Structure 1
Amino acid sequence: MTQLHGGHYDEESNLVIHGTAFDDQDVRRGFIRKVYAILIAMLTLTFSVIIGFTTIPVLRSWGQTRVALFVFILLWISAIVLMIVLICNESLRRSYPHNVVFLVTLTLIFSFALGITASYTRPFIVLVAIATTLAIVIALTAFAFQTKFDFTILIGILFCLSISLLVFVILVVLVHSRILYIIYATLGAFLMSVYIVVDTQMMMSGKTVQLDPEEYVFAALNLYVDIVTLFSYILLLCSGGNQ
């Protein structure tokens, strides 16, 4: 741990603990602008692809084929591998244009994976899920910026709850109960909502845990994964657990 503006910087996690890395308001505002500019571009591409898979007959039909299912599995495996590489390699996250290439690639992978998933759902339900997700994200972002409670102290608890939810989904798949699917989606949506608040506060000053100001790619990726995962849970809820 090294000293940084009265706080401590964890070189391994790239987090500032009890620090004030954003004492310079211009640096903080510039960081937040970068993160949300990247995030909006990623979400625009993702939701456009999802809408395409639900409204364009050719894409919708292909998304329900066995080939698409095989591609879906490959896409998720690729996403996991790329995210691990990006998270573990600090120089890659901060190196332009390599970080941009990785972000675009990950965005396309998530977009097509979610598009294939959405192809099984009626277009109206998908649009409702997108609108609901965006409304929740906007509300949570506004809440995260104005609340005085430090949600970043909940990171450890959220990790434990995520593991528990992962175990629960195994039960859901084995039992294949519609009620359990709805319960699972509800718990998942709630968990991701808290993650969005936590990851938003990590970009802000005066919190227990902050991201380093240079980690705008990591911050955008964090929020993006939170939001698209929240969308997948809401889509499951809107479809009544029938996916």
Structure 2
Amino acid sequence: MLGKGYDLEAGGASEPLYPGMVESPDLRWALIHKIYVILSVQIAMTAAVAAFVVKVRGVSEFFVSSKAGLALYIFLLVLPLIVLCPLRYYHQKHPVNLLLLGVFTVAISFAVGMTCAYTSGKVIFEAAILTAVVVISLTAYTFWAAKRGHDFNFLGPFLFSAVMVLILFSLIQVFFPLGKISEMIYGGLASLVFSGYIIYDTDNIIKRYTYDEYVWAAVSLYLDVINLFLSLLRVLRAADN
């Protein structure tokens, strides 16, 4: 329990994270710390699994060269969507939430690994560096802006609409490939959308997520980071080719 060891009536020594904050800043900082620890573990797990898929060529070849491997790969692509339903329902039930989170992260990691397996190391490195810089910069900006009273909750409907457009564009790309220029345009737009989601979800972590929603908050931010990385990878890969 996050509240253990804190005096709610006396409050904490930390300054409020945003104007008008009525809860204990120390409690909110404890929640933020827990979320970012989980996120760090997820990213480390994704990097490890993706590196394994890239380095052990037999893994990626198995997925694409045999019917069993292809079926398993499709299952791993669909698995995160399947796991999201029980994860949403049990996201406050420990330790079931962490077990489901682990399965979700590993499945996503294999998908990232398969994408990286057919991408040059230089492009992967550039995308990873850019992702780290963007995530750190936007996180710092959001905390700075929240401290000065800015609120980004209004971004939600616009970002959701933008994701729907990206999904439709992806479907069009599957049936009617539009070439490298369209790949770069799609990747650039997706990078902007998920950069907006990083700001939006970070703002929610600062102000709105409850203390029992740390797993769901970590999932949201993790998906933002992974999608930003894949979008940048798409742009750089198209440019490199």
Could you tell me the TM-score, scaled by structure 1's length? 0.82
Aligned residue pairs, count:
218
SS in 2 for 1:49: helix
Alignment match of 2:209 (pick from 211, 214, 238): 211
Partner of 1:54: 54
SS in 2 for 1:125: helix
Higher RCO, 1 or 2 (CA under 8 Å, sep at least 6)? 1
Partner of 1:72: 73
| Closer, same or farther: CA 240–68 of 1 in aligned 2, 3 Å | farther
SS in 2 for 1:202: helix
Q: Distance in 1 between matches of 2:70 and 2:232?
A: 21
Task: Kindly report the root-mean-square deviation, in angstroms, between the aligned alpha carbons of the 2 structures.
Answer: 2.2
Q: Distance in 1 between matches of 2:63 and 2:237?
A: 17
Q: Distance in 2 between matches of 1:120 and 1:230?
A: 18
Q: Which amino acid aligns with 1:152?
A: N
Task: Decide which structure has greater strand share.
Answer: 1
State which drifts further: 65-74 or 124-133: 65-74
Runs (5+) with no aligned partner, structure 2: 1-19
Q: Could you tell me the percent identity over the aligned residues?
A: 28
Partner of 1:153: 154
Partner of 2:84: 83
Q: Is the 8 A contact 1:54 1:123 kept in 2?
A: no
Q: Deviations over 1:68-92 (max 9, x none)?
A: 44323211211101112222x1xx1
Alignment match of 2:91 (pick from 67, 90, 93): 93
Q: Is the 8 A contact 1:35 1:219 kept in 2?
A: yes
Q: Deviations over 1:18-53 (max 9, x none)?
A: xx7861112101100100000000000101222222
Q: Is the 8 A contact 1:141 1:200 kept in 2?
A: yes
Could you tell me the TM-score, scaled by structure 2's length? 0.83
Alignment match of 2:197 (pick from 174, 195, 198): 195
Larger Rg: 2
Runs (5+) with no aligned partner, structure 1: 1-19
